[in-house]
Structure 1
Amino acid sequence: MSTDISYTPEEVAKILRISKFTVYELIKRGELAAYHIGRKVRVEGADIESYKQKSKGVSPLPSLLDPPALSERLNHTTTLDESLVICGQDIVLDILTRYLEKQFPQVHFLRRYIGSIDGLMALYRGLANVVTAHLWDSDTNEYNTPYVRRLMPGHQTCVINLVYRMEGFYVAKGNPKGIITWGDLTKPEVRFVNRERGSGARVLLDEQLRLSGIIRNDILGYGDEEMTHLAIASKVARGEADVGLGIEKVAMQFINLDFIPLHKERYDLVIRLEDLERPHFQALISILKSPSFRNEVMGIGGYDISRMGEILAKT
């Protein structure tokens, strides 16, 4: 990356491996310097480097670009005065992090906004402490556990339910293209917008296409990727795509979108089994079971919390 040229928020997002909405939030909070050319936002390469340097200290969005440094810092033996990395993109994780920060003000709780497979790989490599997953396995019709076993070979883990969410299609109000099934994605006039590789939504789509015998090249826009459910919904709402895949909660934020429910998914937390009895993780489970946290999540809407905090598997 050159430090003498400027970058768009989308380019910054790719450089830092975060969502473009997180980039805008960093700019809004003054953590990342930016300037405007008309209505467009630009970030200098030098300011990106400056932000990355500051992130090597205390930052809500640590970089995974320097695995040895971060691995050495965490080293699977997090104590009460160190950092704890939480990976995942759902707003419920931001609320959970806030509750943890209140209980452990001396701990740096660091958030990484990455997908399910990347999160599990970070846990395997020692670059994360808590990760989320919503990965459907079509062979077993089971969520997450088969993937945890494959991606964490030789490592014992604990799978804890966070919420259940409804996954489905975002379409324009009134569903003018009549998009109801996976097969409708192949209609020649339908423009699709996809999630990035490694995300739970992308895995669900690819598994369903395989089961249905649908060739991905027959889907217009299959290669058009966005990093978040919000970005997908926004693109459909703006008319830049006809359909995208995401969770119902996000669709509720757009008055000009309809949601076509397809699949109820299990959204879990995954930690190392050796961490389960440590104070941070016992506090995490207690928070998940607390009336205040559960009521706050229920108040948001769009989530099933019936098994929140329940240990579903130890692998």
Structure 2
Amino acid sequence: MKRNIYLSKLTLEEAQEKFDKALTDLRINQPLKGEIVSTENSLKRVTAEPIFAKISSPHYQAAAMDGVVVRARDTYGASESSPLKLRINKDFYFINTGNPIPFGFDAVIKIEDINPVNKEICYGELKKENINELIRGEEDEGIEEIMIFSPVVPGQHIRNIGEDIVANQLLIPVNHLIRPVDIGALLSGGIEHLLVRQKPKVAVIPTGNELIQLGEKIVPGKIIEYNSKMIKGLISEWGGEAKVYEIVKDIPGDLKNVLLEATIENDIIVVIAGSSAGSKDFTAEIVKDIGEVLVHGVAIIPGKPTILGIVNKTPLIGLPGYSVSTIISAEQFLKPLIFKRLNLPISKKRKKVNARMAYQVVSRLGNEEFLRVRLGDIAGKIMAYPLPRGSGVITSLVEADGIVRIPSLKEGLDFEEEVYVELYKDMDTIMNNIIVTGSHDLILDILRNELQDNFSNYRLVSFNVGSMGGLIALKQNRTHLATAHLLDPESGEYNFPYLKRVIPQKELVVVNLAYREQGMIVKKGNPKNIKELRDLTREDIKFINRQKGSGTRVLLDYLLKKKGINPLNIRGYSREEYTHLMVASTVAEGNADVGLGIFSAARVFGLDFIPIAKERYDIIIPKDYYHSLKIQRLLNIIRSDEFKKKALSLGGYDLSQSGTVIKNE
């Protein structure tokens, strides 16, 4: 099939309005009819009619406290100087919370306020804490009289009929989203069943020859299908009911048949993938053939290839195949439609917070960009850290604290520019983020997990920008901590010479995290027989490098210079990756023969490792933060046996000095 071109590229608002108007004209976005459900199973359902109480609550006069029930008039005149004596079964009865009030009685005295009188107990000798033990069940029989020292008023500690709910009063209005407290009120008002909106039924149809189910054999060119599971979860969260269809291969006739079948039993159709401009992206053509395409192309990133249409009077949304695009597009088009069918307000927006950009961001004109960010409180200022922006990087949504919308007519965001962040998480969680910027290492993942396991309110948020990038972040006050392993060629010392040059004005504390092995990562069995750095200059060797400013790159350049090796003679010296894992992955995939990295990264991919240096990997902490509770707790984790045990299991580490403050000699 020929490649598609976008039929249109409307702004987000234009696309939403056009879709809504077309559905409204056909009356296929109206609130759904009601169905009867039990009150106990009505959580998160939407009422389809007002609910009125059948009974009052309480429906009888009831004691609000444990104690004795009396006639208020019998207590008048009681005082400290002139106490009154009341007799059981005549002037008072013992009563428990919730018991009916006997006819003719109108007040309750709390159990802790009574003063028993009998031949065994003299007034003044009984402590209050013993009264509850004495007056319980059959033990009440030992008390025949009580003394009172103050009068009570009618109605004291009594719940009157209808105090909470009066029969026939409105409990819950129509179009109300039922919460746990609502269920309590409904049951208390005698409501056993109620009429709620039917859940919108949504067909979720994943498409593509490349898709396989988890558990099937993974080979190059095949992708585990998970978008439908995410969308199913969102549909459930938004109040709908999803039916996920089997994966439809790239056969136009098959997709057409599935779409027509789906219109019979569903209120909304969602097609995943096939909406872009590839030769096998034919969803738009099929929808056009059997229905109407209203929109093909929306000026948002991610989510541009979105399709909006109608088939057999059923709304259809074609979501892009990349996972982040799938989610963003679903939130903008599917969620409002589900809410409308439930007759819930769709204007509800996430909470927002003001923040300042921690890095400059360049954006393309003509598209509104949904930028995923992490947030951190740095010296009382909320900083926003951009996450990877690829449409297929689902982890950017997993990690995100919120979204920054970059307007379509803006070319990007400047460093420290003020922005509004739509929050995914609450501010209490965000304020406890610990931002660490700098050199990458696998033990940071272990540290992150151990911190959260021991202190669930803290999150370690790391940004792998290289050792020098970490120092610059410290200098610009946009991180709590930096990680670095910068070797100074002249002194042979790690980190301190760079601290003096880059941020001499800051008081810093340097804490060792690990000593680790750096070396050449090669394929299992070392098929190219690489033995030393000089082998990197061989014509048959392809190298993968780390980025400029990383400690690994500094180490490599130092060793090359020491051995008199010209970097220009190394094939791939200019190819860069930002983490040890990506270097190892590049070698594992055969896109490079060798790269420089740490032993633990080689081990993850089952690669061989040729050690060439042992280096010091430190955490650098501004003194202003060093004594804070969250940093001290982080350091306690670093010094713990459990952390060291798990880190050592990765291999290639010496943790004998882990957690030790390093002094500049």
Question: TM-score, normalized by length of structure 1?
Answer: 0.76
Pick the aligned partner of 2:464 from 113, 116, 134.
113
Pick the aligned partner of 2:595 from 226, 230, 244.
244
Percent identity over the alignment is 38
Q: Note the residue ranges of structure 2 that are not aligned, 5 or more in a row.
A: 1-9, 12-226, 235-271, 275-279, 281-320, 329-367, 376-383, 386-396, 404-412, 419-429
CA RMSD of aligned residues (A): 3.8
Number of the residue aligned with 1:171: 522
Relative to its length, the structure with more helix (as a share) is 1
Q: Is residue 564 of structure 2 the alignment partner of residue 213 of structure 1?
A: yes
Pick the aligned partner of 1:280 from 602, 621, 630.
630
Structure 1 letter corresponding to 2:481: V
* CA–CA distance in structure 2, aligned partners of residues 251 and 190 of structure 1: 18
Pick the aligned partner of 1:297 from 629, 647, 656.
647
1:138 aligned counterpart, secondary structure: coil
Cα distance, 1:83 vs. partner? 3.9
Number of the residue aligned with 1:12: none
Pick the aligned partner of 1:264 from 585, 606, 614.
614
Q: Is residue 484 of structure 2 the alignment partner of residue 133 of structure 1?
A: yes
* CA–CA distance in structure 2, aligned partners of residues 166 and 199 of structure 1: 16
Give the conservation status (yes or no) of the 8 Å contact 1:81–1:106: no
Aligned residues between the structures: 281
The 3 A distance-change label for structure 1 pair 54 and 188 is: closer
Number of the residue aligned with 1:196: 547
* CA–CA distance in structure 2, aligned partners of residues 192 and 244 of structure 1: 6
Number of the residue aligned with 1:18: none
The 3 A distance-change label for structure 1 pair 299 and 215 is: closer
Number of the residue aligned with 1:91: 442
Structure 1 letter corresponding to 2:561: R
Alignment of 1:154-165 (within 5 A): 154-165=505-516
Q: Note the residue ranges of structure 1 that are not aligned, 5 or more in a row.
A: 5-26, 71-79
Cα distance, 1:105 vs. partner? 4.5
Cα distance, 1:139 vs. partner? 1.1
Runs of 4+ in 1 over 6 A off after TM superposition: 35-38
1:136 aligned counterpart, secondary structure: coil
1:93 aligned counterpart, secondary structure: helix
Q: Is residue 533 of structure 2 the alignment partner of residue 185 of structure 1?
A: no
Structure 1 letter corresponding to 2:563: S
* CA–CA distance in structure 2, aligned partners of residues 161 and 69 of structure 1: 34
Question: TM-score, normalized by length of structure 2?
Answer: 0.38
Structure 1 letter corresponding to 2:616: R
Cα distance, 1:138 vs. partner? 1.8
The 3 A distance-change label for structure 1 pair 109 and 228 is: closer
* CA–CA distance in structure 1, aligned partners of residues 442 and 325 of structure 2: 29
Number of the residue aligned with 1:77: none
Cα distance, 1:300 vs. partner? 3.1
Give the conservation status (yes or no) of the 8 Å contact 1:60–1:109: no
* CA–CA distance in structure 2, aligned partners of residues 275 and 53 of structure 1: 23
> Which of structures 1 and 2 has the bigger CA Rg?
2
* CA–CA distance in structure 2, aligned partners of residues 162 and 277 of structure 1: 18
Pick the aligned partner of 1:68 from 386, 408, 416.
416
Structure 1 letter corresponding to 2:649: G
- Deviation sequence 1:54-108 (CA, Å, 0-9, x none): 8659984679x764269xxxxxxxxx94543112422322222333345554455
Pick the aligned partner of 2:660 from 301, 310, 314.
310
